Amino acid sequence: MGDPHTDPVLEAERTFLVHVGACLAHMRGLAEALVDVGGDAYASERLGAQRAERLRALEDLPDVPPFFGRLEMPERALHVGRRHVADAEGEPQVIDWRAPLSRTYYQASATDPQGLLGRRRFGFDRGVLTSYEDEDLTDGQERGPGSLLVQEIERPRSGPMRDIVATIQPDQDEIVRAPLEETVCIQGAPGTGKTAVGLHRAAYLLYTHAERLRRSGVLVVGPNRAFLEHIEKVLRRWARSTSSSAPSPSSAPRSWCAPSTGPPPRR
């Protein structure tokens, strides 16, 4: 990686960043142009709610980068981000971190490249692309985590819980993407990311099984009201920076404060 002011790769990625922003603006324009007219008042209301969800998912957040990584494949390269972004022709420019293809970003290694030639990670500072780091996955030589990954993982935690989509590790990804029918128990010492991984699993399931979970819903059980209020704030903040198909009120995680005894309330 060369000088950040003269590195042609970095400049090309910054140009692409501007292009992605223009694609997002185009997607928002298409969503804003939709007319909320249904067969009856209820249908029109639901169409309006869905359009509002779509606009929320496409909101421009200057401090949240639209992508954090890039997959180098034999036929093309694809950027990975917190939400799907397509150009005016519908061609994907950034793929959602929960999409099946994105799994290789988290799971591929030099000893098991899973069809990738390489992986690129990006460094941002308040939405500004400042650096990148390439990993060669073709020579079979494991080198350990790169400096950008280590810096992000070790970044001091302050304020509300932040998402970890850029730094999910292979074992965490296995938990996040486990089948819906599989019961998962996440254990670990305090501060090891158990809650973050659990919430990312919920986000993944709401993305992958949207229709099914829209009918049945997701329930978050917590030890006390303060914990659940914290989780609610985290989920609302994450929802603004990810196109989680913005879980509708019927499918968004519901919370319940667990008393010392007794079953959860009937809903």
Tokens of 3: 């000088």
Whether 244 shows a pLDDT value over 60: the answer reads no
More confident call, 59 vs 18:
18
pTM for the model stands at 0.79
* pLDDT category of residue 239 using cuts at 50, 70 and 90: low
Residue linked to tokens 């959602």:
96
* pLDDT category of residue 39 using cuts at 50, 70 and 90: low
Strands (E), 12-117: 69-72, 77-81, 85-86, 92-96
Least-confidence region, from 47-56, 70-79, 254-263:
254-263
Question: Do 55 and 99 touch, CB atoms closer than 8 A?
Answer: no
Rounded Cα distance between 130 and 30, Å, is: 31
Least-confidence region, from 80-84, 167-171, 218-222, 244-248:
244-248
Q: H helices of 71-224, where?
A: 103-107, 147-154, 170-176, 194-208, 210-216
Q: What is the pLDDT of residue 256?
A: 58
State which H helix or E strand residue 2 sits in: none
Share of the chain above pLDDT 90, in %: 41
Note the pLDDT tens digit of each residue in 115-160. 999 999 999 988 899 999 999 999 888 877 888 888 776 665 655 5
Whether 107 shows a pLDDT value over 70: the answer reads yes
Neighbours of 175 (CB within 10 A): 19
Question: Do 131 and 121 touch, CB atoms closer than 8 A?
Answer: no
Q: What is the pLDDT of residue 95?
A: 96
- Taking CB atoms within 8 Å and a gap of at least 24, the contacts of 172-175 are 172/197, 172/200, 173/103, 173/106, 173/107, 175/201
